[in-house]
Every structure is written in structure tokens, then in C-alpha cells.
Structure 1
Amino acid sequence: MLWKDNQIFCDVPLPKVEDRPLIVSHPGAHMNYLASWNVMVDHGEPFVLVCDDFGPAYPDGWWAQHSKNGMEYFARLQNPQGVGQAYRNPDLPFQNLLVHRELDANKGMEDFPLIDIMYVDFIDIFLTYEGKADWRPTFLAAAPKMVEKVRDGGVLIIDRKNVHEDCGPQWLEFPQGEFQVAPGITLEHVGKGEWLILDLELNGGKNEIEAEVFRVSNSNPLGNLDDFLAALMKERRLAPDDLKELKGTLPERWPEHPTHAEYCERLFEHYDHPQAFDRPLYPERLVSSWDADQYDEWLQWLIDHPDKLRPIERNERILQIGNTKVRLVHGPIQAHLDWLQIRNASLVVRGSLREICLSQNIFLKKNAANLQPFFRWKKPIRHMKWSGNEATPNLTQELLKLSKTNVMATISHGLGTLEELEAALIDYDGPVEELVIFHLDEEDYR
């Protein structure tokens, strides 16, 4: 509800948008991201909440504080590009995404093309300490930086959780009516917002949120959101045909988390043998990060709006050698990991490149061969040499033996010639039906 001039209103006037989620920024949030999350859940509109902090409170690092009634609340998704960890709740009836990024909040602001709702509970991060004994943070000094990316008609929410006597009145001192804070940007105080905590309990036992709400008018040009959203969500980086392949499926759970089945097995072991097995310390797992119908509906919306997608183009040639389809892609393999994931491809590359690829997409790990394990006697290809005249004989055939699926992805190897590739594949009759080779040299496989 909203208080304004001793009047009470049922709803806080937060913005709504069409054909995209609301973009919400909560810089320096730490554990209080649960407050901005609850505000957005109460609003009931699709949203993406991005929290930049030097020390993020990742939900899967603080199980007890981020669960609900003993159940996991946030299911982890594939990491955003660049930096960060992403989560969502599959039980909400609208799209939602939580992104924690280990970034300086001011640096993180540079990534936003625009912001619909700016949620702030600590204005000091937008100020520079001047070294004076009587220096105090003030709202008006911080306001220009806080709202520089907030769009026209957007909202600034100042959580009062850090407002106390030591701050002094200037912490939230502002003029009446509409006032300018930067060229082209004005604020207007619309009232004091109050939200009861109905969804996920706040850290510290708080049961309500109190905040000052400001409407933002901004005549400055701002950016387009589609590139920003594509960096956060894998599906927006795929082509419509790739998205069609995902329909009828659900995103995989984070591979380093226990599954729901593993949780149940551990729990039943505890019930059967309480002296031998402890109860799981983590909450009961969600089966998936999405509701199946919601996910299909969203995929179809993306397919119907290709202008919202940012697929990575592949400069490729396709050949048929014997029984094997060969796809030769000119470019770095790292640029196409999302596509390889949906193809359920086996990753067969050398150790350092393998680590780079898995750091960017851990979901490829289950089908990734380890050509260079720590213990030398476990190497699947002894005395392997990757390229040149001294390359391991029949290296392509040796790599094919290590594939765990019917699609194998690797990079240019051996002499990098079509003749060598044809000799390796012309009589091949193994389980690999498609071989994808990435090459950086334009002359390879010509």
C-alpha cells in the first residue's frame, strides 16, 4: 500500500510493460535482495532482478535463509555471459529471474541499457567519501548516479532499512514536488510504500518493507534491452529452429546440485537408519527451474518474436563423408557452447580449452572427454600430439572413440585437411553420426 499526504492507497504505482520483463536493479543488495524480490512478487508482473555486490548472497550458498517451508525456493539456471549466477522460482505464475553478479555496483550500472525500477537501500555506494570529518551521505548527492539509467516513467524505491538517527536527516532529505537531479532527469516523491512479506521471509525476521517511492522523468536517450537480456538468458541467444528443438523439454538442473531424487534417497536413508545417516542439511529440491507449460509458452513467444533473439551465427560448411555428417565451423568453439548443449554434443578437446569451455557452460561436462587427466596413466590417448606433421596417427578416429553421444565437437587437429578427414571417416561405422569441427584458420579443411 502507499501513504501520500495522510491518504492511503491500495497499490504502489509501479510500472508495467508489454512484451518484455521489467528490469529491476538492486545494487549492493547482499541479503536484502529478498526485499526487492518480495516487492516484485507482490507487483505480479514479469521481471528480471539484477543485484550487483562485491559479496553476493547467492541463494545456493545460504540454503537455510533462501528456502521456504523446508523447500528450495530458487532453482539455479545457466550462468549469464560474463559474470554472475542466475536463479528463478518455477511456482510463480509469471516469468521471473534473479541474477547475482560479483561486481562493484557502479561498474555494474554501465551494463544496463535502461532500468524500470531502481531499488536502493544503501546510498553510500553512489558517493565518494571526501575525507572530511563532518561528511555525511545525502540523498540529493547520490540521486544523479542512482537514476541515470532509469527510464522515463520508471520508479526509484529507497528502502528505509538503513535510515536511522546516525545518518542524520539529510540521508532522505528532498524538495517537495518535482525536482531536477541531473540534466534531463527529475524526480517526484509519490509517497511512502509499505509491503507485507507474503512470499519469502526476509533475513532478520522483518515482516514488512518500508520505502520512499519516487517517479522518474528522464528525457535522455537510453539503450535497447534485447542485447542485455540475451546476455542473461541462454534461450535468447538461440535461433528459432534451435528453440523449436527445446519445446517439450525442461532446462536441466544445475549439475553440481543434488537432484530431487538424490534428496529423497538421502532423506529415506535417514528415516530408515537415523543413527547412520543424517537428515540432509539442504532444503528439499525443486524438480525443475520451470513449469513445463510456462516454458513451452515462453519458447513459442520467442520463436514468434525473432527480433528479440540474438543468435550466434555459424559460418559453416556441411559435408557427408561415408555415414558421418561433418559440420566445419569457422570460428572459436567458445562462441557456440549453447548450441552444442542443445545438440547434446560430446566435447572432445584438450585440457586447457576444455576448462575454458566448461567454465562458460558447465552443462557440457557430463559429455566432455578428459584427454589430459592429472594422472598420466589415465590418459585415453597415450603420447598424444594434436597437430602438425608429428600429430598422433589416426587422431580423428581416436577422438571419435571418446564421444559419449552421437554428436561430437572438437577443433582442427592433425594436418587440418579434407583428405585426412576423408581417410578417417570414409569407412567409419561407429556411433557418432555428426562430427562438428571448429577451425580458426580459413585454409583448414579446404
Structure 2
Amino acid sequence: MAPYESDGSTTGAGGAGGDDPRAGRRKKAARYVVPVAVTGVAVATIGLVPAIADSGSPDLPEISAQQLIQNIAESDTEQLSGTVKITTDLGLPDLGGLGGGLVSGAAGAGGDDSGSSADPGTKLTELATGTHTLRVAVDGPDRQKISLLQNAAEYNLIHNGDDVWGYDSQSNEVYHASAAGDADTGQDVPATPKDFAEQALKAVDDTTSVTVDGTAQVAGRDAYKLVVKPKQSGSTVGQITIAVDSKTYTPLKFTLTPASGGAAVVDAGFTQVDFARPAASTFDFSPPKGAKVTEESDVPEGAAQPPKSEEDLTKGAGEPTVLGEGWNAIAVLETGGEGVPSGAEVGGDFGGFLDSLGDQVSGKFGEGTVFKTRLINALITDDGTVYVGAVTQDALVKAADSAQ
């Protein structure tokens, strides 16, 4: 099946979730997602991405990229269940468990009363690295369930009507929050690849190439392969491939590969999927006997918590500005602080550790440090200004110079 180029129209992309009357209702689900702090601006628009190998090339009717995007936006799939496998490889340095310790420490700072191991804002950070298996179930905007399978343990996140429950079987702890209220206090649950594909497709504009590049089978279902690529140079994004079910137009697989090549940065997808309505009992939950239950209202105000949204990340840093457009957009934050000290300034083993994390750079802006992953790069200048985006180190330095 030959590729079909889009005509450059962004109508379908803009419709991917933006005009959906169900979107407001979905905002009453749990808002916990993999923190933007870990995955950055680009991954925040990508979310979970399938790691399942394609099987076969089914013969399907030809369809244009524009029509396929429109069909995704208009898909009325509201019930499904299945198993999703997720692999994330941002190329972060091996901290020997330090990273996990920092996260759990942040969640539990202040003693037992300040947090819970069942808090989704803490637990779902595990999806930011490694390979994980999830069971998902969805029954409309008011019922979703995600089960993170672990060694001899399981973590469940359940949204059922006005209630959001998190349960960590390993610690026998329960976290309970309310999903009721207005849209701004709602809590979106990332239940399926569709949720994240819609976000990625919002980035489609005249800086983007969109094609339908053949077909595949994912989880035993025939699918079209939608390929999204930046037209601009300087982006760290190579391409995004979305496998779209040919009957329901539900995204089944979503893979992001970096411009530098190699394995996918985020690769997640269904190994099994069923579009029948899950049993109502799937979403029932009562705290097990003896479990420690933490109510959202019981967590002291100001208790250390991992950030759950971009607003949390930028709080106190002023309103970010954006340089450039499309895939080369760079967010600029004026923190009012100081830059990162060099290893030479710190000295000792920790100084060497700092140098291993970032590259020292200089330009018209002065001096700074660039911290890199396989997707997101960030430049912190000596005056505390932060430049971050899915762009190369050279692009960050040029942006900092142009701001002078």
C-alpha cells in the first residue's frame, strides 16, 4: 500500500479531541499522568506508545492521511479492555536507584502522614523508564481502570463516577480522591493510546509531514499506519507512527523514534484488545481489610509531591515564553535563580557526577549547562534561564543567543 501525503490541512488534527463534547466530561476522570518533569514538552504530547511488532500487511481500502486523522477524531469508541505493553527509553543516566529514591522520598517527605505509596502521582512515574505491562478497561468518560502489573504485586488506579481509587497491593495502601467538581479540578486518566494520539495529532500543522504508509496487524486487528514527521531540521523527533484500527479508528499502537536513530524513545501498544463493554464489576473497589487508607484531603498542604502538571512545574518560575514554532518550539522559563555549578566548582566525586549529566556550553548569553535525553534537551544558563524543547543542543544555544 503506497503512502498518501496529507494536503497540509490541519482540520482533522484540530478536531482530535478539541471539539469533542465528551472532552469536558473526561476531565472529571483522574488527572494523574506521567509527570512532565520526566518526559518534557514533547513526551507530554505523546504519552503511552506501543511496543508491539507489526504482523502482516492486510489489504485495506486506500485512505488519505487527512481522512484518517478525521476518522480518529470522530471515533466514538467508548468501551474497551485489553493489555498494553509500554517501553520507554529516554537515555537517562543510570543513577543506581537514586532516581527512584528521590521520587519516593518526595512522595513520603514529612513522615507517614504526608503521602501514600498508592498516590497515582507517585506510582505512575514508574512508566517513565523501562518496560511495563498494563491492563486497561474503559466504559465511557466516567469509568476507567488501569492495572500496573509488577513482580508478585499489582497497582490499580480506578475511576468510577465521583471516586478515584489507587491501590498498591505490595504496601497494602489505598489512596482515595474525588473526581467530582468542575473541569479545572478534574483528574484525567491516561487509559488508552487514543488519549495520547489525540494530543500528538494536535501538533500537526504546516511544519509537519503526514502520510499513510501501509498497513499492519496489531493485537490481531487490521490497522492503517499513520506516519507523522517534522519537516524542519533541528528537532530531536524522527517520526511518530500510529497504528489505527481500520474498523473503529481507535489508535492501537503509537511509536516515537528519535532523529538520532536507534530504538524507539517511547513504544507502547495493545497486545490484546476487546471492544466489548467491560463488566460493571470491573470498576468496583472497596479498601481491603487492614489497608492504610489516605484521603486526598488528609495530605497536608505543602507536603512534598511530584509535579502532576505543567502548571505545577512552572509555578513560581513566571509565565513561560515560546521561541520558534512547530516541532522546533522552545519553551523559555525565567526562574530568577542561578545556573547549575560546574563540576570544577563543586569538586570531588559529586562534581564529576554533575559533569557527566550535562555539557558545558557558552555563547552571547554567557555560560550554561545542557542536560540531554534522547528526546528532550534543556539549557540552563548561568543566570537561571531555562530553554527546553525537543530540539538539538545547537538549537538551544542559538535560541539563547538570539534572546540577547
Q: Fold match, TM over 0.5?
A: no
* Higher RCO, Cα 8 Å, sep 6+: 2
As a proportion of its length, which structure holds more helix? 1
Give TM-score scaled by structure 2 length: 0.23
Give TM-score scaled by structure 1 length: 0.22
As a proportion of its length, which structure holds more strand? 2
